[in-house]
Amino acid sequence: MKRDEPENLDLLAAEYVIGTLQGRARQSFERRQRRDPFVARRVNAWEERFAQLSLRLVPVAPSAGVWPAIERRIGAASPRRWFSLAAAAALITAFTFGWIVWQETRPPLATATLASEQGAELWRVELTARGDELEVATVGSVSVPGDRARELWALPEGAAPVSLGLMPASGEVRLALNDRQRAALAAAANVAVSDEPAGGSPTGAPTGAVLYVAKIART
Amino acid sequence: MAAETARADDSEVAGLLAACARQDRPAFQRLYERTAPQLLACLLRILRNRATAEDALQDVFVQVWGRAGQFDSARGSAWAWLIAIARYRAIDLRRREGRVVAEPFADVDQIPGEDESQDALAALGKRASKALAMCLAALQPRQRECIVLAYQGGLSQSEVAGELGEPLGSVKSWIRRGLTALKRCLES
């Protein structure tokens, strides 16, 4: 297998993450990760997968001295500085609020970017500031067979997926949300897109393959 | 020590990191309170020494304070970001510190065990957790042991070989084949 083949890079990424890639190979892989976004994404993916093993460890309370030592190392802020920072923050907040009201546009409450396994972005989904609509924009080249559709789902934790609507093959759409969809989205960490017959899932649950999953970034 | 409260869920941790990026110190303290015990468990498992692990914990949080702005929730979860910083720090220290390797079982009673309770798996989302657990369970036992020892314990391939009493060549091939099988299973 050639060194630069994606399969081999992905395996190196896994070995880097579990720590068995060592010495000079580790250092050169670190450099490569900094300049190659594909490699960086593969490393992220493995870190994400394996993090679950770390979360299974029983937590251990640190000694009382650790936090004060950290505070010393990052440099303690004086109360006076705190006051002026707080005042500045309040001013900025007031100004920003006024500006936003004046503009009558507010940033989205949440966003998610659906991308292919190779990392090519396909759709950007934004929950509008009012929280009652999704704006879905096609950002990459999406190809959907004529007799199939791509359906967006909220994946609420511990509950069944809830359909949010059909994804556009090009351009933008707005999907209005009902209360059930809003609640599902609020309880979800991820959204997914599944392959469905034209017109969407006939059953109310995903029937085809789950093609893409994206984390919801809340702002 | 068992966890007294549920692990912070990922959106809480991501929110605290975003506040840290704005230099919000109370949020940084809250982040420490909510995540330091879990990160210390990761560090202890690799460094096997309380004082070394707590020094590393300081390093980790100093780094987190400086780099919080680089966390991007579109690229992954907040827990995975923190755990990666902690583990790489511990692995660096362990490989640099021959002494730690020479006494692998010092302080063995302080090395945290595993917690199979629901909340441990819930923090990152149940779907993802089940997938990893299922795919690890589907590996051949030796492949799984090698990968878990390397990841959780921060063991090098030769240390894994020593721990299992198996030849280094076999360990190398179990790890490569195990990771390949894991990838295929997780992506299917």
How many CA within 13 A on the CB side of residue B136?
17
Kindly indicate the confidence band of residue B102, based on its pLDDT and cuts at 50, 70 and 90. Answer: very low
Q: What are φ and ψ of residue A39, in 5° steps?
A: -65, -40
Question: Is the overall model pTM greater than 0.80, yes or no?
Answer: no
What would the mean pLDDT of B116-127 be, rounded to a whole number? 55
Domain coordinates of chain B in residue numbers? 1-112, 125-188
Label residue B70 exposed, middle or buried (CB < 10 Å: 0-12, 13-18, 19+): exposed
Distance CA B130, CA A187 (A): 18
Q: What is the pLDDT of residue B116?
A: 57
Q: What is the pLDDT of residue A95?
A: 60
Tokens of B89: 């720090």
Which residue ranges of chain A lie beneath pLDDT 50?
A: 1, 77-82, 100, 102-104
Establish whether domains B1-112 and B125-188 are of one fold: no
The architecture (CATH level 2) of A110-218 comes to: Sandwich (2.60)
Domain B1-112 fold is: Rna Polymerase Sigma Factor; Chain: A (1.10.1740)
For B4-18, B61-75, B76-90, B162-176, which range has the lowest pLDDT when averaged over its residues? B4-18
* Average of per-residue pLDDT values in chain A: 83
Between B53 and B121, name the one with better pLDDT: B53
Q: Give me the percent of chain B exceeding a pLDDT of 90.
A: 67
Q: What is the pLDDT of residue B33?
A: 96
Q: What is the pLDDT of residue B105?
A: 46
The amino acid occupying position A135 is E
Considering only CB atoms, which chain B residues are within 8 Å of A63?
A: 50, 54
Q: Are A188 and A216 within 8 A, CB to CB?
A: yes
Q: What is the pLDDT of residue B107?
A: 44
CATH code: domain B125-188 is 1.10.10.10
The ipTM of this complex is 0.88
Contact B147 A18 (CB under 8 A): yes
Q: Are A155 and A189 within 8 A, CB to CB?
A: yes
Contact A59 B41 (CB under 8 A): yes
Q: What is the pLDDT of residue A164?
A: 93
Asked if the model's pLDDT at residue B62 lies above 70, the reply is: yes
Kindly indicate the confidence band of residue B98, based on its pLDDT and cuts at 50, 70 and 90. Answer: low
DSSP assignment string, chain A:
--TTSHHHHHHHHHHHHHT-S-HHHHHHHHHHHHH-HHHHHHHHHHHHHHHHHHHTBPP-PPPTTHHHHHHHHH-PPPHHHHHHHHHHHHHHHHHHHHHHHHHT----SEEEEEE-TT--EEEEEEE-TTSSEEEEEE-S-----TTEEEEEEEEETTS--EEEEEPPSSSEEEEE--HHHHHHHHTEEEEEEEEEETTS-SSSS--S-EEEEEEPEE-
Kindly indicate the confidence band of residue B90, based on its pLDDT and cuts at 50, 70 and 90. Answer: very high
* Average of per-residue pLDDT values in chain B: 85
> Is A34 in the B-facing interface, judged by CB distances under 8 Å?
no
Separation in Å, CA A60 to CA A47, A57, B34, B54: 22, 9, 12, 11
Domain coordinates of chain A in residue numbers? 6-55, 74-103, 110-218
What would the mean pLDDT of B39-67 be, rounded to a whole number? 94
Contact A55 B74 (CB under 8 A): no
Which of A70, A96, A118 has the highest number of chain B CBs within 10 A, making it the mutation to test binding with B? A70
Q: What is the pLDDT of residue A202?
A: 84
Q: What is the pLDDT of residue B178?
A: 97
Helix orientation angle between A37-55 and B126-137, rounded to the nearest 10 degrees: 90
The four Cα atoms A219, A132, A114, A146 give a dihedral, to 10 degrees, of: -170
Q: What is the pLDDT of residue A80?
A: 44
Between A3 and B63, name the one with better pLDDT: B63
Contact B175 A77 (CB under 8 A): no
Tokens of A142: 């999406």
Q: Give me the percent of chain A exceeding a pLDDT of 90.
A: 30
Report which listed range, A98-107, B46-55, B173-182, is most confident: B173-182
